[in-house]
Amino acid sequence: MPDYLKALIYILIISTPVFMLARKVAVPFVPLSEFRLWRNCWYAATCAVFLASNFLLFALGMLVLSVVILKRSANPLHLYIVLLFVTPCITVAAGIPGLFGKILDVNPPRLLALFILLPVAVELWQDKRNRILAPADMPVGAFVALISLLAIRDPLPTSIMRIVIGYLLDIALPYFVFSRGLRNAQDINRALLAFAVATMPFAAIGAFEVLRSWRLYNIAAENWGSFLTVPYLFRDGMLRAAVTAIEPIAFGFVCMAGAGCLLAVRANAVSTFWRLGALGVLVGGLLASISRGPWLGFTVCCLVMALAKPKFSLKIMIAAALPALALVFVLGRGIDRFLNLLPFIGNADPGTVSYRSELFENALIVIERSPLFGSITFLNEPEMQRMIQGQGIIDIVNSYLQVALEFGLAGLVLFTGYFAYIAVKLAVAFRAGETTDINHAALLGILVGMLFTISTTSSVTFIPYVYWAFSGLCVAALKVAPEHAASASKDASRMVSTPPSRILGKYRT
């Protein structure tokens, strides 16, 4: 049997019981028919990944699937999330043979943006209310405008066009659609649930990769002609799971976000047993990444939630501890090996700490040369050339440094200012207690966890697509809260001024 079919069979076997568990968590919030559409589209896209002989055939298959989604889904944004992590996040040059060898760098998230988000954006744009600028639109719009203008530094006109289109697809489009397309608390909670459902099979496959020391999706990426710089990466003798994220730390980032989103969903209708089981799968995937940054990020996320709601913190610790201990002993060598992997405690792979320290020092020197708007040739600076690793690459393991080096302090201020504004508004909304339908404290915890984690890694593969979409979701949640509060206030005042007989009569009819 060919290796790609063997990998596909394993993936389908692993994901089937995971989707059975996901159904227990999801169906109280979404209709069974909608959940089945989520699951079946995931299966269809996964089969297309392994059965399509090249990326073009896969793209055509996704186009057909997207047409079905736009016609049948209650909210296509939810299925965009469900399908986001199905395909290896590799980049393929798209062009017109004989005319342009390369028009656009295409990857699976950009395909979904073109096929699903763009039609939704066109529909949303027709409503004049969606064209009104909100306060959060200012910094993100200014950031996109700035980096688009800085694209003119590229000497090739075709490259400028390609870069700007990439910014619009990666940042502006997801932000606009998620900030406008989620209109009420139900939409937002279902989007959070979609993040969790999308991540559960992703996490389970990652745990399998660690246990079998076999990356299941590498064969699909190689069949599409992609060159993987580090196809297998180990730490302390264990394979670090990557699944479709290609990079272990990006895989851990996605699992961290999925676990946080599951905790953020208002789940009174779900049995605690099923919810903890789902959380166990996600935490198991997070551990399988063997990436300290996402581990610390999830810890930060839980701490923020715990400080906001102390009674809930005990459930979080129990839910995280049980699968953690189970996976530690399954992997062998027990707790000692696990402790050796922990940041600040263990001694496994100490070179990463010294590399980050040296990178920070050298990056500051480079930033001082072009402080305002950065430089597109920063990697050629002698200080950065000293950071070349054994694989022949310079890994900018800090997204904030990455922004400052390429777009200067102006870009960094807009980038951090946008997320800081959302974080402050979420904290204010939680303290005000405007609505019980949206868990603002959990949204804040997830966002802070993401912002912490990207300080330990560059924004590669799925990472930027997750935090731009999630930030748009947070903006949508902030718009819903005051409307809900105002509606509740009006209902309360109406009940005070309305005789009891008329209120009862309304419900009798």
Confidence bin at 444 (pLDDT 50/70/90):
very high
**Contact 291/251 with Cβ under 8 angstroms?**
yes
DSSP three-state, residue 84: coil
In the chain, the amino acid numbered 278 is A
Query: What's the pLDDT tens digit per position in 456-501?
Result: 999 999 999 999 999 999 999 998 855 444 443 344 334 333 333 3
User: Could you give the CA distance from residue 117 to residue 123 in angstroms, rounded to a whole number?
Assistant: 10
In 90-155, at which residue ranges do the beta strands (DSSP E only) sit? 92-96, 100-106
**Contact 319/276 with Cβ under 8 angstroms?**
yes
**Alpha carbon separation from 240 to 88, 96, 393 (Å, rounded):** 16, 38, 19
**Alpha carbon separation from 246 to 88, 216, 438 (Å, rounded):** 7, 11, 33
**Contact 191/77 with Cβ under 8 angstroms?**
yes
Query: What's the pLDDT tens digit per position in 95-126?
Result: 655 555 566 788 999 999 999 999 999 999 99
Could you give the percent of the chain with pLDDT greater than 70? Answer: 82
In 224-352, at which residue ranges do the beta strands (DSSP E only) sit? 234-235, 238-239
Query: What's the pLDDT tens digit per position in 268-320?
Result: 656 777 888 898 899 999 999 999 899 999 989 988 888 877 665 556 556 55
> Looking at the DSSP assignment, which residues form a beta bridge with residue 238?
235
Give the pair of three-digit tokens for residue 1.
């049997």
Query: What's the pLDDT tens digit per position in 373-413?
Result: 999 999 999 999 988 887 778 889 999 999 999 999 999 99
Confidence bin at 355 (pLDDT 50/70/90):
confident
**Contact 269/29 with Cβ under 8 angstroms?**
yes
Q: What is the pLDDT of residue 181?
A: 94
DSSP three-state, residue 53: coil
**Contact 256/453 with Cβ under 8 angstroms?**
yes
**231 has pLDDT over 90:** no
Pairing type for strands 100-106 and 234-235 reads: unpaired
Q: Whose structure tokens read 């993987």?
A: 228
User: Could you give the CA distance from residue 250 to residue 291 in angstroms, rounded to a whole number?
Assistant: 9
If we measure between CA atoms, which residue out of 198, 233, 227 comes closest to residue 215?
A: 233
Q: What is the pLDDT of residue 498?
A: 38
Which of the two residues, 289 and 323, has the higher pLDDT score?
A: 289
Confidence bin at 506 (pLDDT 50/70/90):
very low
If we measure between CA atoms, which residue out of 455, 403, 13, 504 comes closest to residue 253?
A: 455
